[in-house]
Structure 1
């Protein structure tokens, strides 16, 4: 399938809420996210954009992926996503949103909160997006699969889910392809659909090194 005309944004406006260890974990997740986009047969046409990009995250990025300035369809912006893209095209992904995604829309910018907070700041990304008047939505994960953990996905898992959907237009396969088997249980009926938190990191995943670029 041809690339769908959408952009994936990682909202990095949470540096002050994270430790250096958290930021290192986030840098690993960004590295893996780019790897997914780079090798995908059908990735988001608009690529991967980091917004509100600050010095503390940059220091960790230099450690994890010092050649990121050579990456294709990837850019880092100090400005907020709200100033870089028209607000009517923005959709902020959050487990706390009422709306559930049924499909990914062309010419749309999907925002993922780049926050590794280990449950210290629940509902924060949704609250900030709502205050800014940004549309929010949750992934339809429980319409298609059930997880054995609480509703937490790393940033790179979400990027992989969205990227896989772009290539196959199949939510179930996207979830099964991206979510580690240890986190899955038996499927549940579609009527139980809820969203998936996109901004926190599972403690079990802390030692993942990511792909070398």
Structure 2
């Protein structure tokens, strides 16, 4: 046999059918072995795998839903409904404002038609009247908000409302303080940026610091001692606290500390790098505040905790060597409940003292009625039947809830 006969012949390449040219089908499909013609056992196995995958996915979703309680799901739905109605509420507010302006214009027109010039002038003045800008005082209030991890969601909501009230009170009175928020971050900041739509960015004169209250006090100290640091107005312009009938003659024997500027105040203000004067206000302090002092930063603990963490602000100040003091509530008032006040109450009391120079009057006008506070008289007992005003604060630390 020759060599040619021993060599095997080449396998001829089969031409694909015309319809199969350029097709992206698999070779199994070309020979009739596609998905439809796969062996029955193979198809069943693939189907079982797909069913298992779907089962696992549905099981994961069910487990995720099972983690949330009914109350949590209810809160989520309520939050979604509130966000959905945001645009509607905004439109409603604008509509009410337009209606109010229209009523004023109609009243002016009616007075003009009746020939009542006096009423017309009064209405016109009332519509153009704007609140007078408060005078800046050289005193700073710093809200120490480094307690996010110690509060519940409801308590964080309460604190946010109290901070909002502090800003409102500070800008609506005849005098105003420097206001700052230190340790700004965490859940509180997230709430302001999301739920409250960053409205804090429009707060004029309020500074937010991610650093602690000591760094904030240092910066505010420079601002207070600057050329436009503020004026000695209200009670700050008096050499002593104004003597009034509501001030008790017999005070308790507890030490009353007066953080008053001494004779070196002028020299200290000329110092290019003066030491910041800082006082941490806490009801646990053994010292009692007698009056507010210019060029001083007063720290207020930004925490709502139903008194669970008693003494935490006092301990925080002592660890850093910061002087502490408490408002003279016990010197002027008798209270049936604890003397711990909400953040906005403390700010409002200090604003009222700056305006009147009288702690008793400040306490009476601010402390909520639920605390059953009464003014002390000369013999140390409570003045018969005189309660505080019936002004209930919705943002109080004990009863607030959104």
Q: Distance in 2 between matches of 1:190 and 1:157?
A: 26
CA distance in 2, matches of 1:144, 1:185: 10
- 1:66 equivalent in structure 2: 198
Rg larger in 1 or in 2? 2
2:275 is equivalent to residue 144 of structure 1:
no
Local SS of the residue matching 2:339: coil
Following superposition, the deviation at residue 2 of structure 1 comes to 5.5
Q: TM-score, normalised by structure 2?
A: 0.46
**Structure 1: unaligned runs, 5 residues or longer:** 193-200
The residue aligned with 1:206 is 400
User: Which residue number in structure 1 is paired with residue 144 of structure 2?
Assistant: 11
Task: Report the secondary structure of 1:128's partner residue.
Answer: helix
Tell me what 1:55 maps to: 186
Q: Is residue 142–residue 216 contact of structure 2 (8 Å, CA) maintained in 1?
A: no
Which residue in 2 is equivalent to 1:115? Answer: 303
- How far residue 14 of structure 1 moved from its aligned partner, in angstroms, is 0.7
CA shift, 1:181, in A, is 2.4
CA deviations 1:50-100 (Å, max 9, x no partner) are 000113101222434732111111111101111232474110001111111
* Number of residue pairs matched by the alignment: 197
Q: Are the counterparts in 2 of residues 9 and 110 from structure 1 also a CA contact under 8 Å?
A: yes
TM-score normalised to structure 1 length: 0.85
- In structure 2, the gaps of 5 or more residues are 1-133, 219-274, 381-395
- Matched-pair contact (CA < 8 Å) for 1:3–1:166: no
- Inter-CA distance 186–61: structure 2 relative to 1 (3 Å threshold): same
Q: 1:13: how far off?
A: 0.7
Q: Distance between the aligned counterparts of 2:154 and 2:342, measured in 1?
A: 15
* Residue 317 of structure 2 corresponds to residue 129 of structure 1: yes
Equivalent residue, structure 2, for 1:198: none
CA distance in structure 2 between the aligned counterparts of 1:106 and 1:41, rounded to whole angstroms: 17
Which one scores higher on RCO, CA 8 angstroms, separation ≥ 6?
1
Alpha carbons 2:142, 2:297 under 8 Å: kept: yes
Q: Distance in 2 between matches of 1:191 and 1:4?
A: 36
In the alignment, the residues of structure 2 paired with residue 160 and residue 55 of structure 1 have an alpha-carbon distance, to the nearest angstrom, of 26
How far apart in 2 are the matches of 1:190 and 1:130? Answer: 35
Report the secondary structure of 2:287's partner residue.
Answer: coil
Q: What root-mean-square deviation, in Å, do the aligned CA atoms of Structure 1 and Structure 2 show?
A: 2.1
Who is 1:98 aligned against? 286
Tell me which of 212, 237, 243 is aligned to 1:80: 212
Is the CA contact (8 Å cut-off) linking 1:5 and 1:108 kept in structure 2?
yes
Structure 1 equivalent of residue 156 of structure 2 = 23
More off after superposition, 176-185 vs 135-144 = 176-185
User: Which secondary structure does the structure 2 equivalent of 1:5 belong to?
Assistant: strand
Secondary structure (helix, strand or coil) at the match of 1:164 reads: helix
